[in-house]
């Protein structure tokens, strides 16, 4: 399989896709590593994870340019992704020392007199991780690092659009003291991946991608543990008392970072009616100031989408909304895989660009009168990953936290805010379970009780 640079359509590498037979052999090797991985001490796991950190640091620029080349991600964002991957492995190197356990008396019941209980967590087995193209390093690392910290072998299928980054990480991990079979990269088709999900030696499925595929995989997984991160349609609320300049700064980044190809991309912005007209003008002005260019140039902060097919999809959604009466304030003209920053208003509620995950550089700005109206608009969605609210009122913040139907409410920051130790995940069609090193580890562990 050829890997193409989305910026200039040049070939940058080639990856061999494995057959079902060879994929099953890789799963068998991971299964054989279970005993060795389970026996690793916290010190050994921490040492391995820190070795991986050192390896990424040594090849930092190589990781950055590989991500940028194969995904079209601007250098500044690729650099941030590599820094976050380092943080994720560093956090895992600490969290592996803090796997919970407890000891307790059982004499609250008459039968328990003189008895004690001990509750400990053990590795659940082989993890099958599937990661997407938009963060080809760190979203994979959010499956790999917790698995190693928990003592589980992991087989990782990266996106076929961005496989080279994972090959680079594979070479770094191979140089560490991780036992053979503890980490395996699997380049395969979706059909082969579906067979792996049902393999009896897979104990956990961790998938990041589209809801249609994710829920189908969960149905196929049977009794396996499943974690799904399935994207969103993130909304932000800008209240009358908001720090106006802060909201503009944060939401410009939230709307257009990596051409909107982020699960928590700011897709909808609801602005108080007394601010909305000025906000639209200022937001258009900010979007026009984005620097478009070569993704490897440090000054570039906006670039192409992952491929022309996705750019055409975004174009069709915007055109559909415009034909139904939406006003295009900026953008809307595609050139190949490049789709410009696009801002819409007065968008009909039945439009795809309003209801689905656009996964592109498109944002909708609408007005509201009361906070309850804004909350109802945000909740009028099958998605529920993250939402933002810009306000200086603790009363309004608490109301939003209580009533917004999302996995995370972000105060005075973009919807795209994420640090790698926080519990991250959604409700409704946005997912099932939580990522974040400590929280992911709990899905890779199983409790066992001892009565003495």
**CATH superfamily ID and name for 2-230+427-451:** Aldehyde Dehydrogenase; Chain A, domain 1 (3.40.605.10)
pLDDT exceeds 90 at position 416? yes
Element (H, E) at 203: strand 202-208
Q: What is the spatial distance between Cα 188 and Cα 185, in angstroms, rounded to a whole number? A: 10
Is 229 marked active-site? Answer: yes
pLDDT exceeds 90 at position 183? yes
Q: What is the spatial distance between Cα 284 and Cα 273, in angstroms, rounded to a whole number? A: 17
For 234-411, CATH number out of 3.40.309.10, 3.40.50.720, 3.20.20.100, 3.40.605.10 equals 3.40.309.10
pLDDT exceeds 90 at position 337? yes
- Phi, psi values for residue 276, rounded to 5°: -65, -40
- If one counts every other C-beta atom within 10 angstroms of the C-beta of residue 81, the result is 24
User: How deeply is 14 buried, as exposed, middle or buried, from its count of CB atoms within 10 A (0-12, 13-18, 19+)?
Assistant: exposed
**How far apart, in Å, are the Cα atoms of 17 and each of 111, 134, 157, 158, 199?**
59, 20, 11, 11, 18
Q: What is the largest CA-CA distance in the chain?
A: 76
| pLDDT band per the 50, 70, 90 thresholds, residue 7 | confident
- If one counts every other C-beta atom within 10 angstroms of the C-beta of residue 448, the result is 10
Is 263 marked active-site? Answer: yes
CB 93 within 8 A of CB 53: yes
Structure tokens at 380: 């009028």
* Number of residues that make up the chain: 452
Q: pTM of this prediction?
A: 0.96
* Tens digits of residue pLDDT in 236-291: 999 999 999 999 999 999 999 999 999 999 999 999 999 999 999 999 999 999 99
Task: Show me where the domains of the chain are located.
Answer: 2-230+427-451, 234-411
Q: What is the spatial distance between Cα 135 and Cα 215, in angstroms, rounded to a whole number? A: 21
CB 78 within 8 A of CB 301: no
**How far apart, in Å, are the Cα atoms of 41 and each of 203, 263, 347?**
21, 35, 56
Q: How far apart are the first and last CA of the chain?
A: 57
Structure tokens at 391: 């306000």
pLDDT exceeds 90 at position 230? yes
pLDDT exceeds 90 at position 180? yes
Structure tokens at 68: 């940028």
Residue tagged active-site, from 96, 152, 188, 263? 263
* Tens digits of residue pLDDT in 71-113: 999 999 999 999 999 999 999 999 999 999 999 999 999 999 9
Residue tagged active-site, from 81, 229, 250, 315? 229
Dihedral sign for Cα atoms in the order 395, 400, 403, 408: negative
* Tens digits of residue pLDDT in 10-64: 899 889 899 999 999 999 999 999 999 999 999 999 999 999 999 999 999 999 9
């Amino acid at each position: 399989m050829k890997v193409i640079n989305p910026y200039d359509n040049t070939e940058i590498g080639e990856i061999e896709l494995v057959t079902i037979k060879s994929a099953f052999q890789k799963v068998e090797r991971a299964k054989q590593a279970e005993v060795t991985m389970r026996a690793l001490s916290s010190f050994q796991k921490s040492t391995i994870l820190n070795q991986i950190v050192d390896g990424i640091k040594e090849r930092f620029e190589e990781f950055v340019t590989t991500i940028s080349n194969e995904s079209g991600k601007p250098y500044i964002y690729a650099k941030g992704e590599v820094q976050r991957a380092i943080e994720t492995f560093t956090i895992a190197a600490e969290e592996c020392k803090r796997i919970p356990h407890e000891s307790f008396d059982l004499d609250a019941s008459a039968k328990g007199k003189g008895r004690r209980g001990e509750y400990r967590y053990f590795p659940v087995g082989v993890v099958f991780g599937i990661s997407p193209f938009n963060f080809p390093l760190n979203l994979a690392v959010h499956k790999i690092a917790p698995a190693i910290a928990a003592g589980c072998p992991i087989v990782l299928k990266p996106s076929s659009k961005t496989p080279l980054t994972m090959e680079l990480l594979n070479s770094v991990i191979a140089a560490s003291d991780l036992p053979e079979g503890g980490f395996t990269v699997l380049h395969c088709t979706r059909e082969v991946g579906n067979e792996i999900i049902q393999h009896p030696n897979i104990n956990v499925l961790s998938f990041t991608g589209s809801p249609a595929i994710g829920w189908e995989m969960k149905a196929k997984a049977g009794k396996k543990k499943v974690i799904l991160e399935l994207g969103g349609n993130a909304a932000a609320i800008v209240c009358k008392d908001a720090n106006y300049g802060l909201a503009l700064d944060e939401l410009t980044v939230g709307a257009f970072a990596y051409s909107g190809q982020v699960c928590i991309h700011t897709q909808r912005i609801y602005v108080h009616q007394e601010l909305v007209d000025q906000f639209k003008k200022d937001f258009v002005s900010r979007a026009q100031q984005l620097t478009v260019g070569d993704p490897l140039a440090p000054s570039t902060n906006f670039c192409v989408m992952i491929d022309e097919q996705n750019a055409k999809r975004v174009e069709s959604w915007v055109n559909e909304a415009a034909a139904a009466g939406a006003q295009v304030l900026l953008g809307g003209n595609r050139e190949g895989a490049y789709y410009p920053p696009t801002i819409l208003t007065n968008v009909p509620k039945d439009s795809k660009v309003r209801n689905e995950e656009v996964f592109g550089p498109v944002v909708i700005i609408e007005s509201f009168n009361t906070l309850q109206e804004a909350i109802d608009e945000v909740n009028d969605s099958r998605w529920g990953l993250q939402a933002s609210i810009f306000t200086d009122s603790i009363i309004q913040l608490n109301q939003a936290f209580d009533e917004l139907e999302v996995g995370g409410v972000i105060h005075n920051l973009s919807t795209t805010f994420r640090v790698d130790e926080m519990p991250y995940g959604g409700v409704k069609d946005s997912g099932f379970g939580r990522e974040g090193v400590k929280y992911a580890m709990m899905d890779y562990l199983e409790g066992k009780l001892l009565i003495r």
